[in-house]
Structure 1
């Protein structure tokens, strides 16, 4: 498995693990989905482009809990999750067929009728450069939101900062996002973040952040000393960038880290200098960090 796929797998695993486990309605107690929620999904589909008919099952008066990508609460029938990411698998004979399976079009405001929606994955689709809809910030029950690599563009709406329950946020994209530092900084429960192309300042205020992937982001310059504020970090991936210079002493604050990948960059600081900054960690944490940093140092060249 290559590096990119490993990052996606880790990100998806950590993100899904933060969400309460619920059963597919296919095996529920016979509770059908709510009529208004079924209508909301049908309206959502109307504004989507679906060239490969991925949403072929989304029709008529049937139970929407049985539709492709829809997960309902097994007791109430409320729609809880939308799994509409377009992930490559062996079922595609070639990459062009995979691309044709992308959803596109418009994200309809009918989603606002899904009052119990906690998980939404629209990643790896093709929304043609439209801006991320600001109304998504009104889906207050969302705990997982992944819009990565779906060709959204422009300014990330500050309304996303209203998602106070959000645990996992995926905004990895080739588009240059400008993040509102006040709005998004309100998401204090974030544990998993996957970004591309920039490191917004609000990120360093996420004291509960446990996993941060900035792999292959064309990041340049030195690592910010503010990285040391992320004291809850367990998994930090800054590999395959163009980061150079000295690593800040503040990295010694990351005592909980078990994965710190700084490989394929251009650092000029020795391991002994890094170890000298670990005074804030316990002896057990320091020993773990020593082993981790030596391993990372071996990869840096």
Structure 2
């Protein structure tokens, strides 16, 4: 077939395809099915029993179709049956009154039983005032996903939940008022398909057989039992939930040793044993050859076994506040997958790390997150820091590091967060620091850094900088215009306390005095008009010497 015939055939095929698409549209096959009247009425009754101060369910109006217009309702496109109720409170948990006002509360009406095909229900992060979990939920026979976490349910967990044999996901975590005494958790083995179980913050000391019961869930993939008051983890002669991939037992004080049955979970990918009062890491941990994430922070290890650092599959390792003394001499040469390493010590009740930054650390060119803050690290930062070219976050703050910042720090092209504050770093800022184009947050405050401020020729066409903190240093020079134009966030005039006694605004350079050597006291941050900088803290009671404020410094 010649080229012309191929072209004609292609055009004809395209035309027929368009006709087919147009025909399907004309027949309405692209339109979602309308919801069933019986289910619509059930949802309206359910809404009527709820407290909704922020009117999150304002779209639930009788004149609107519940499948196509109601927030949080998902239907089957063919049958119109309601399949999902997604009513999780999406406001940030630290938003104060905004979070509280956006929570749903009140009663959960059994009218939901009319939703015969309901498979997914999420009422998490709301506030039901300590009311019991409705037992009628056990009659929602099609339910596969149930999330009631952090919603202030209380009282006994209804054993009727065991009737929902289709459940694959069950989260009751964060409801610290729930009770398991009496019948305990005997209903759990009736959920043979359960893959995800979260009972965090539920006091399991009242259910002494909790482990034996959970061991009867052969399909379990994720188990979260954070802060369940477990001061003892019993042994298991035989482990049945060997499909487990994620295990979180953090914030339970069952130490001093890890339960040995954990080492039988060969499929485990994530293990969190933070804050468990452990004093040692058994050699058996090396049996977990699939482990990707390990968090053993906030424990009391005297030493770390060499086998820990032969786990080549580890991507995230958190040892923060976990062990004392110098770094192990033999460490990490085989941990080629490691991307996240936390060795911080932000809780001063733990003994800090000391000594210098080990040389082996600089060989981790794939490391993306490194936190060694709040320790007693001494010595300098090697020029080999420039080898860590994949770093996104570097935090060495609150140590005793000294010397100059190496010029190779400009090699960290991917770094977004850089915190070297509260050390004894001196010398001048290297010119190369101006080449860190992706920086969003930089804190070099409370050091002894001198010289002129950012006197460098940057290779960056633009910056993503949002926070810049350089106070408590010995900097001089002009704040460069390139940083951006700032408005005074102090709601008033800056106080020039040395040669420039009179108050001055930022519309001129302190009476155009190029030889100004005074201190400027700024106790609040500045806020950027454009493009991205939202906070700048350059100067405080321990002097930075500024030759000139830039003309771009404009009063707010």
Please give the range of the TM-score, normalised by the shorter of the 2 chains: 0.7 to 0.9
Give the whole-Å Cα distance in 1 for the aligned partners of 2:285 and 2:129.
44
> Alpha carbons of 1:262 and 1:30: their partners in 2 closer, same or farther (altered >3 Å)?
closer
Unpaired segments ≥5 residues, structure 2 = 1-28, 205-209, 294-307, 324-556
Shift of 1:297: 8.1
- Alignment-derived partner of residue 206 in structure 1: 217
On the 8 A contact 1:260/1:296 being kept in 2, the answer is no
| 1:29 equivalent among 31, 37, 57 | 31
| 1:221 equivalent among 217, 228, 231 | 231
Q: Secondary structure at the match of 1:45?
A: helix
Aligned ranges for residues 279-294 of structure 1 at < 5 Å? 291=311
Aligned: 1:81 with 2:91: no
- Alignment-derived partner of residue 188 in structure 1: 192
Give the whole-Å Cα distance in 1 for the aligned partners of 2:32 and 2:92.
32
Aligned: 1:261 with 2:266: no
Q: Secondary structure at the match of 1:242?
A: coil
Give the whole-Å Cα distance in 2 for the aligned partners of 1:29 and 1:125.
33
Give the whole-Å Cα distance in 1 for the aligned partners of 2:291 and 2:141.
40
Q: Secondary structure at the match of 1:205?
A: coil
Structure (1 or 2) with the larger CA radius of gyration = 2
Give the whole-Å Cα distance in 2 for the aligned partners of 1:166 and 1:59.
31
- Counting matched residue pairs gives 266
Shift of 1:296: 5.8
Give the whole-Å Cα distance in 2 for the aligned partners of 1:248 and 1:228.
12
On the 8 A contact 1:82/1:119 being kept in 2, the answer is yes
Shift of 1:228: 4.0
The one of the two structures with greater contact order (alpha-carbon pairs below 8 A, sep at least 6) is 1
> Alpha carbons of 1:240 and 1:63: their partners in 2 closer, same or farther (altered >3 Å)?
same
Give the whole-Å Cα distance in 1 for the aligned partners of 2:252 and 2:153.
23
Shift of 1:230: 2.4
- Alignment-derived partner of residue 75 in structure 2: 72
Give the whole-Å Cα distance in 2 for the aligned partners of 1:171 and 1:58.
27
Shift of 1:149: 1.2
Shift of 1:139: 0.1
Give the whole-Å Cα distance in 2 for the aligned partners of 1:265 and 1:68.
41
Which has more helix, going by share of residues?
1
Shift of 1:246: 1.7
Offset from partner CA, 1:135-160 (integer Å, 9 cap, x none): 00000100000111111110011110
Shift of 1:97: 1.3
Unpaired segments ≥5 residues, structure 1 = 1-26
Shift of 1:62: 1.8
Give the whole-Å Cα distance in 2 for the aligned partners of 1:187 and 1:62.
37
Aligned: 1:104 with 2:105: yes
Offset from partner CA, 1:33-79 (integer Å, 9 cap, x none): 00100000001011111111110011113210120110111111110
Aligned: 1:250 with 2:254: no
On the 8 A contact 2:104/2:127 being kept in 1, the answer is yes
Shift of 1:95: 1.7
- Alignment-derived partner of residue 39 in structure 1: 41
Q: What root-mean-square deviation, in Å, do the aligned CA atoms of Structure 1 and Structure 2 show?
A: 2.8
Shift of 1:207: 1.4
Shift of 1:99: 0.8
Give the whole-Å Cα distance in 2 for the aligned partners of 1:46 and 1:78.
21
Give the whole-Å Cα distance in 2 for the aligned partners of 1:249 and 1:166.
29
